[in-house]
RNA sequence: GCAGGGAUAGCCAAGUUAGGUCAAAGGCGCAGCGUUCAGGGCGCUGUCGUGUAGACGUUCGCAGGUUCGAAUCCUGCUCCCUGCACCA
């Protein structure tokens, strides 16, 4: 695309200002800044190229950061790299390089792309998680967690991706088909020694304090609640015996419906339960079922009878024990009491196997439900339950739990401890050595960081192949020992990176405590909602642990969270595999970064999805070109008019735009804020075109405002025009322009717009072909006074109160009639602009009506008796043909 | 199934937290006019119905209710989206 069809060369302009900002350190945040506004976009994984999602994400934070800076705040707006992770290993293998070099190359490329977008970061605070300077603190924090008793090593069934050759967190397994989140390979189960962080210790606080996260979207809060999945219930102990009377011990079963204990007609074990395993060894049917038939994903619940019995601890009844595939090892205790009368799934199972189905809960005492066809699952009144009959479900649960030996109320969570072990190279080495005598031992702080060895290209875990690196001595006994070869989940890195920005160079602690206490929490966090659970939950967890263990004064990391919407193409998510992407680089080359940024921001509110539109981009660019021309026209110096009433109108519109845009920016409604700037530009153009000799100062003030209002979103052109307008400083560092208050501004606009619409209505309805003169008469003072009295008054009838006011009484019939109107609308009265402001507003806006109807417009006060039916907020209009 | 969020004029979408200038912002589409005007772009206007002076009528998923007054509050229903789920 040639630049000749544009009013300015974006490449030159954008480079120029990027260089100047760098030279002057405009976006630096000094360490002594006082409680800066902390604006943060989720740091990217350095895949090599920015995509539109990144552009949108970082344009949002950049615009907000710039706006806050113009409002006079100190701002902290840093950027960094989520630089560990599997793709780097894969890429390194493909390209015959190593993860480190590949990652660093990607970072260089992306940093340059960010620079070309004009994002104003404090690059002095840049962090890169794959550098020892960063990941040593992961190790240090791991040790602190260990000291707090929050690290556990245990044998665990883990999700294993055979393609990635690594363990996956539950959150990284997707869908019913259980596919790896990265490569879509079906996930297998394996048993391995794993390192866990005890996030469940904080489950209650993580759940309860969600309520206070008022700056977060409801959807994210709800997802976290679901994920934690707290459930109150009862643990009941069932004695399990085989036919010979041999005891298999007590099996605990968790239930939320202890009130249905009398309805239990069977007991069921998971195929993976240890008793099941024991029985399978001597019982071929059970073995066959476990091996061949059990299908936890199947629609139908399947099961097989055993020769065991379980004693219902509430009733003493002997229940048959089944092995059933709908019982899951990792839910509850892997065993349950079956109550087919009051649980859908148990009902289905009992029906299939011909087991008893008993109603023990009823809607009310005289109405025993028919449970032969389907379960009655609501709470109600307990029946057929011995001494408990007649109690409501809630009370029965409490009573049964209290009366039953060995029963206790417990809380169960869906949330599991966080397995952080990964059998991969490109991550933080877990700082542990294994000693034959002492077992696993923490690497002491002074020996940190445990640095990664050279990359070895192998199919398994490269750390396992690094023989020399693996050799270590035990910190406790000094004997030979072996290094732990697991690395940490990269979500560990991102769980505290927002703290590192505060003091990125600090060498004796991960973060400066005092400064963090002042600078945190992040005031505005922005990112995609694919991180709604994992990253955001882990970050909250880390913050709470650091508050308890390291004196951090905050228990929540992110005060306000914005989950930005997707940039789509034809209604579909942009995706490399589908091939429907738009390259930010191409857009920047063709139209410039300002155009890309402005288009994205005006297209929709930041939380919404929207469609990319090349035509929208073009018209955005056209707007910037017109603005450039507007400024050039002003500086050519041919505007030599006086400040007439039209200019006064323009002035009030400038105030209005500034005030409204400020409110909208503050609430992150960039699309509305930007529209104010564009409308103001339009108003200025209309003014220049309408009057013979525009008033240069007014136009200048207006263009200054337009440029200021656009500066957060289109910063390069804004700087360029700001200079053209004669300013020496950066617009990035300029103060937000002074304006009026948004409420009055809106009231004035409404008055003008309503009046113009009324004129149109009249002309249209009355069929006036060619209006010659239009008289607009503002309300008489006494009506305004009367309205004020009526609003204040709490008398049942205001008319007498109005008539006690001489200035109103002397209006005679008119006063009585208006008083009547007021009385009828008593409850709905609102205070309008005062008559003087109204008069002034309309006088200034008269040119709009003149222009539209090509008629003389006369705005007058109502001191004459021709006020007609003018009312406050509603001038009388008289049109002469 | 559970939970959360929704349903607004041809389409997209504000407004609902604090009921009253709300026939209801803005955008798109469509139509008319203008721009020394092919088109495009840009600007102005219109876009539920009726109406020869700014009015009236009907409307905010469906059905009721509260209120002087409801897009907004309450109850029930229908449908859509998102998350979770053989979760005991």
Q: What is the pLDDT of residues A660-718, one digit of tens each?
A: 999 999 999 999 999 999 999 999 999 999 998 999 999 999 999 999 999 999 999 99
Instruction: Tell me the CA–C1' distance in angstroms for A400 and B1.
Output: 27
What integer pLDDT is reported at residue A869 of this predicted model? 78
What integer pLDDT is reported at residue A625 of this predicted model? 94
Q: Give the Cα separation of A84 and A463 in Å (integer).
A: 15
Asked if the model's pLDDT at residue A169 lies above 80, the reply is no
Instruction: Tell me the CA–C1' distance in angstroms for A336 and B1.
Output: 19
What integer pLDDT is reported at residue A312 of this predicted model? 95
Question: Which residues have a Cβ under 8 Å from the Cβ of A736 and sit 6 or more positions away?
Answer: A67, A70, A71, A72, A658, A662, A708
Q: Give the Cα separation of A832 and A754 in Å (integer).
A: 13
pLDDT tens, position by position, A619-643 = 999 999 999 999 999 999 889 999 9
Q: What does A506-547 look like in DSSP terms, one character per residue?
A: -SSSSS-HHHHHHHPSEEEEEE-GGGTTHHHHHHHHHHHHHH
Instruction: Tell me the CA–C1' distance in angstroms for A603 and B8.
Output: 21
Q: How many CA atoms are closer than 13 Å to the CA of A233, on its beta-carbon side?
A: 19
Residue A101 to residues A48, A85, A109, A427: CA-CA distances in angstroms? 12, 13, 12, 14
Q: Give the Cα separation of A92 and A457 in Å (integer).
A: 9
Q: How would residue A378 be classed by pLDDT, with cut points 50, 70 and 90?
A: confident
Asked if the model's pLDDT at residue A555 lies above 80, the reply is yes
Which nucleotide lies nearest residue A771, CA to C1'? Answer: B53
pLDDT tens, position by position, A427-476 = 999 999 999 999 999 999 999 999 999 998 887 788 988 999 999 999 99
Asked if the model's pLDDT at residue A356 lies above 50, the reply is yes
CATH topology of A231-412 equal to that of A584-743? no
Instruction: Tell me the CA–C1' distance in angstroms for A443 and B83.
Output: 41
Instruction: Tell me the CA–C1' distance in angstroms for A613 and B30.
Output: 20
Q: Nearest residue to nucleotide B13 when comparing alpha carbons to its C1'?
A: A604
Q: Mean pLDDT across the stretch A481-503?
A: 96
CA–centroid distance for A561 within its chain: 4
Q: Nearest residue to nucleotide B51 when comparing alpha carbons to its C1'?
A: A765
What integer pLDDT is reported at residue A357 of this predicted model? 92
Asked if the model's pLDDT at residue A297 lies above 80, the reply is no
Q: How many CA atoms are closer than 13 Å to the CA of A320, on its beta-carbon side?
A: 14
Asked if the model's pLDDT at residue A1 lies above 50, the reply is no
Any bridge partners for residue A432, and if so which? A442
Q: Which helix (H) or strand (E) holds A807?
A: helix A806-809
Query: What ipTM was predicted for this assembly?
Result: 0.94
What integer pLDDT is reported at residue A17 of this predicted model? 98
Asked if the model's pLDDT at residue A168 lies above 80, the reply is no
Tokens of A500: 């590192």
Which nucleotide lies nearest residue A348, CA to C1'? Answer: B86
Instruction: Tell me the CA–C1' distance in angstroms for A522 and B80.
Output: 35
Q: Mean pLDDT across the stretch A569-580?
A: 80
Q: Mean pLDDT across the stretch A88-112?
A: 93
What integer pLDDT is reported at residue A171 of this predicted model? 66
Q: Give the Cα separation of A779 and A847 in Å (integer).
A: 20
| CATH superfamily membership of A584-743 | Isoleucyl-tRNA Synthetase; Domain 1 (1.10.730.10)
Tokens of A84: 């560990």
Residue A713 to residues A71, A303, A350: CA-CA distances in angstroms? 15, 63, 64
What integer pLDDT is reported at residue A866 of this predicted model? 61
Which nucleotide lies nearest residue A258, CA to C1'? Answer: B88
Q: How would residue A180 be classed by pLDDT, with cut points 50, 70 and 90?
A: confident
What integer pLDDT is reported at residue A293 of this predicted model? 85
Q: Nearest residue to nucleotide B12 when comparing alpha carbons to its C1'?
A: A610
What integer pLDDT is reported at residue A865 of this predicted model? 57
Instruction: Tell me the CA–C1' distance in angstroms for A515 and B18.
Output: 39
Q: Nearest residue to nucleotide B2 when comparing alpha carbons to its C1'?
A: A226
What integer pLDDT is reported at residue A601 of this predicted model? 95
Tokens of A592: 């410039």
Contact A265, A317 (CB under 8 A): no
A73-104 core/surface letters (b: 16 or more CB in 10 A; e: else): bbbbbbbbbbbbbbbbbbbbbeeebbbbebbb
Q: What does A28-49 look like in DSSP terms, one character per residue?
A: ---TT-SS-EEEEEPPPP--SS
What integer pLDDT is reported at residue A3 of this predicted model? 41
Q: Give the Cα separation of A343 and A349 in Å (integer).
A: 10
Q: Give the Cα separation of A157 and A417 in Å (integer).
A: 12
Q: Give the Cα separation of A340 and A462 in Å (integer).
A: 53
Q: Mean pLDDT across the stretch A1-13?
A: 76
What integer pLDDT is reported at residue A2 of this predicted model? 39
Instruction: Tell me the CA–C1' distance in angstroms for A569 and B45.
Output: 33
Which nucleotide lies nearest residue A689, CA to C1'? Answer: B43
Which nucleotide lies nearest residue A301, CA to C1'? Answer: B86
Which nucleotide lies nearest residue A231, CA to C1'? Answer: B87
Q: How many CA atoms are closer than 13 Å to the CA of A609, on its beta-carbon side?
A: 10
Instruction: Tell me the CA–C1' distance in angstroms for A602 and B58.
Output: 35
Which nucleotide lies nearest residue A751, CA to C1'? Answer: B21
Contact A141, A550 (CB under 8 A): no
Share of chain A above pLDDT 90, in %: 66
Instruction: Tell me the CA–C1' distance in angstroms for A572 and B31.
Output: 32
pLDDT tens, position by position, A252-272 = 999 999 999 999 999 999 988
Which nucleotide lies nearest residue A626, CA to C1'? Answer: B42
Local structure of A765: helix, strand or coil: helix
Least confident of A46-55, A364-373, A691-700: A364-373
Share of chain A above pLDDT 70, in %: 98
Widest distance between CA atoms in chain A? 112
Q: What does A581-605 look like in DSSP terms, one character per residue?
A: ---HHHHHHHH-HHHHHHHHHHHS-
Q: Give the Cα separation of A539 and A556 in Å (integer).
A: 8
CA–centroid distance for A827 within its chain: 41
Q: Nearest residue to nucleotide B33 when comparing alpha carbons to its C1'?
A: A852
The nucleotides of chain B lying under 7 Å from a protein CB are 3-5, 13-14, 20-22, 26, 41-46, 51-55, 68-69, 82-88
Class of domain A231-412: alpha beta
What integer pLDDT is reported at residue A242 of this predicted model? 86
Least confident of A156-165, A311-320, A605-614: A156-165
Instruction: Tell me the CA–C1' distance in angstroms for A324 and B77.
Output: 39
Instruction: Tell me the CA–C1' distance in angstroms for A330 and B67.
Output: 54
Which nucleotide lies nearest residue A337, CA to C1'? Answer: B88
**Domain coordinates of chain A in residue numbers?**
139-144+154-194+417-488, 231-412, 584-743, 750-880
pLDDT tens, position by position, A221-261 = 989 999 999 988 899 999 999 888 778 889 999 999 999 99
β-pairing, A487-488 vs A480-483, is unpaired
Which nucleotide lies nearest residue A345, CA to C1'? Answer: B86
Q: Mean pLDDT across the stretch A53-74?
A: 96
What integer pLDDT is reported at residue A192 of this predicted model? 83
Q: Nearest residue to nucleotide B50 when comparing alpha carbons to its C1'?
A: A765
What integer pLDDT is reported at residue A4 of this predicted model? 47
Q: Nearest residue to nucleotide B81 when comparing alpha carbons to its C1'?
A: A219
Which nucleotide lies nearest residue A226, CA to C1'? Answer: B84
Q: Give the Cα separation of A130 and A82 in Å (integer).
A: 8
Angle at A279 between CA A275 and CA A281, to 5 degrees: 125
What integer pLDDT is reported at residue A742 of this predicted model? 86
Q: Give the Cα separation of A855 and A862 in Å (integer).
A: 21
CA end-to-end distance (rounded Å), chain A: 53
Tokens of A815: 């006063």
Instruction: Tell me the CA–C1' distance in angstroms for A271 and B21.
Output: 70
Q: Mean pLDDT across the stretch A136-158?
A: 93
CA–centroid distance for A739 within its chain: 32
Contact A139, A429 (CB under 8 A): yes
Q: Nearest residue to nucleotide B46 when comparing alpha carbons to its C1'?
A: A760
What integer pLDDT is reported at residue A267 of this predicted model? 95
Instruction: Tell me the CA–C1' distance in angstroms for A661 and B26.
Output: 15
Instruction: Tell me the CA–C1' distance in angstroms for A573 and B79.
Output: 25
pLDDT tens, position by position, A830-874 = 888 999 999 999 999 999 999 999 999 999 988 755 667 788 989
β-pairing, A247-255 vs A231-241, is antiparallel
What integer pLDDT is reported at residue A879 of this predicted model? 92
Phi, psi torsion values for A238, nearest 5 degrees: -110, 130
What integer pLDDT is reported at residue A867 of this predicted model? 64
Q: Give the Cα separation of A40 and A81 in Å (integer).
A: 13
């Amino acid at each position: 695309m040639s630049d000749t069809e544009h009013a300015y060369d974006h490449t030159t302009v954008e480079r120029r200002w990027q260089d100047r900002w760098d030279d002057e350190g405009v976006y630096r945040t000094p360490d002594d800044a006082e409680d800066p506004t902390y604006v943060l976009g989720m740091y990217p994984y350095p895949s090599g190229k920015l995509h539109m999602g990144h552009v949108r994400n970082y344009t949002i934070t950049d615009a907000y950061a710039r706006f806050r800076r113009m409002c006079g705040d100190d701002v902290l707006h840093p950027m960094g790299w989520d630089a560990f992770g599997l793709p780097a290993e894969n890429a390194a293998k493909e390209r015959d390089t190593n993860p480190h070099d590949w990652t660093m190359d990607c970072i260089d490329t992306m940093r340059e792309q960010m620079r070309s977008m004009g994002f104003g970061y404090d690059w002095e605070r840049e962090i890169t998680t794959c550098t020892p300077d960063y990941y040593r603190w992961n190790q240090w924090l791991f040790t602190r967690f260990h000291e707090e008793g929050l690290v556990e090593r245990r044998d665990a069934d883990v999700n294993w991706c055979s393609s990635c050759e690594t363990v996956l967190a539950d959150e990284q397994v997707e869908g019913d088909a259980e596919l790896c989140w990265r490569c879509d390979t079906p996930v297998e189960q394996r048993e391995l020694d794993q390192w866990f962080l005890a996030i469940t210790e904080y489950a209650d606080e993580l759940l309860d304090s969600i309520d206070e996260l008022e700056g977060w979207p409801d959807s994210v809060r709800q997802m976290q609640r679901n994920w934690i999945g707290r459930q109150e219930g009862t643990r009941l102990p069932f004695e399990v015996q085989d036919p010979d009377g041999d005891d298999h011990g007590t099996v605990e079963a968790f239930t939320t419906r202890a009130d249905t204990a009398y309805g239990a007609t069977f007991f069921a074990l998971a195929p993976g339960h240890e008793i099941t395993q024991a029985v399978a060894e001597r019982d071929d049917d059970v073995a066959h079922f476990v091996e061949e038939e059990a299908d936890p994903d199947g629609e139908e619940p399947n099961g097989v009878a055993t020769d065991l019995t379980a004693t219902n601890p509430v009733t003493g009844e002997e229940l048959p024990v089944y092995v059933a595939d709908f019982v899951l090892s990792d839910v509850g205790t892997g065993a349950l009491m079956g109550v087919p009368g009051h649980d859908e799934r148990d009902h289905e199972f009992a029906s299939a196997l011909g087991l008893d189905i008993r109603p023990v809960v009823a809607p009310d005492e005289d109405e025993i439900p028919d449970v032969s066809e389907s379960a009655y699952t609501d709470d109600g009144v307990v029946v057929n339950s011995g001494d408990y009959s007649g109690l409501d479900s809630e009370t029965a649960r409490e009573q049964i739990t209290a009366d039953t030996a060995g029963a206790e109320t417990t809380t169960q969570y869906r949330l599991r401890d966080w397995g952080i072990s990964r059998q991969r190279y490109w991550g933080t080495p877990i700082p542990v050595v294994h000693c034959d005598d002492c077992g696993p031992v923490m690497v002491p702080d002074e020996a940190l960081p445990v640095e990664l060895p050279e990359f070895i290209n192998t199919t398994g875990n490269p750390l396992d192949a690094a023989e020399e690196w693996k050799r270590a001595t035990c910190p406790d006994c000094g004997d030979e020992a072996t290094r732990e070869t697991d690395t940490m989940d990269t979500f560990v890195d991102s769980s505290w990176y927002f703290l590192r920005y505060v003091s990125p160079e600090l060498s004796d602690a991960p973060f400066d405590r005092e400064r963090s206490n002042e600078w945190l929490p992040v005031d505005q966090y922005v990112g995609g909602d694919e991180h709604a659970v994992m990253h955001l939950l882990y970050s909250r967890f880390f913050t709470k642990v650091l508050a308890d263990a390291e004196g951090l004064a905050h228990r929540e990391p992110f005060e306000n969270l914005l989950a930005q919407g997707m940039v789509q193409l034809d209604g579909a998510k942009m995706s490399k595999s589908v091939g429907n992407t738009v390259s930010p680089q191409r857009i920047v080359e063709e139209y410039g970064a300002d155009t890309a940024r402005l288009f994205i921001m005006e297209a929709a509110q930041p939380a919404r999805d929207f469609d990319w539109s090349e035509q929208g981009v073009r018209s955005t660019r056209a707007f910037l070109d017109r603005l450039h021309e507007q400024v050039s026209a002003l500086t050519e110096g041919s505007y030599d008019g006086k400040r007439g009433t039209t200019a006064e109108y323009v002035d009030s519109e400038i105030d209005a735009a500034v005030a409204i845009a400020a409110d909208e920016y503050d609430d992150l409604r960039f699309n509305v804020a930007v529209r104010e700037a564009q409308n103001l530009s339009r108003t200025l153009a209309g003014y220049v075109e309408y009057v013979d000799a525009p008033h240069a100062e007014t136009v200048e003030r207006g263009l200054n405002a337009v440029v200021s209002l656009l500066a957060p979103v289109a910063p390069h052109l804004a700087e360029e025009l700001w200079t053209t307008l004669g300013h020496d400083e950066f617009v990035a560092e300029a103060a937000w322009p002074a304006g009026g208050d948004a409420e009055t501004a809106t009231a004035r606009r409404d008055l003008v717009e309503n009046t113009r619409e009324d004129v149109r209505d009249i002309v249209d309805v009355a069929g006036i072909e060619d209006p010659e003169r239009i008289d607009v008469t503002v309300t008489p003072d006494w009506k305004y006074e009367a309205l004020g009295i009526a609003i204040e008054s709490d008398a049942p009838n205001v008319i007498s109160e109005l008539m006690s006011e001489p200035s109103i009484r002397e209006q005679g019939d008119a006063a009585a009639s208006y008083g009547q109107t007021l009385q009828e609308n008593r409850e709905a009265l609102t205070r309008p602009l005062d008559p003087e402001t109204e008069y002034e507003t309309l006088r200034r806006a008269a040119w709009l009506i003149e222009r539209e109807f090509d008629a003389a417009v006369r705005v007058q006060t109502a001191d004459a008796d021709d006020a007609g039916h003018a009312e406050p907020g509603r001038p009388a209009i008289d049109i002469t043909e």
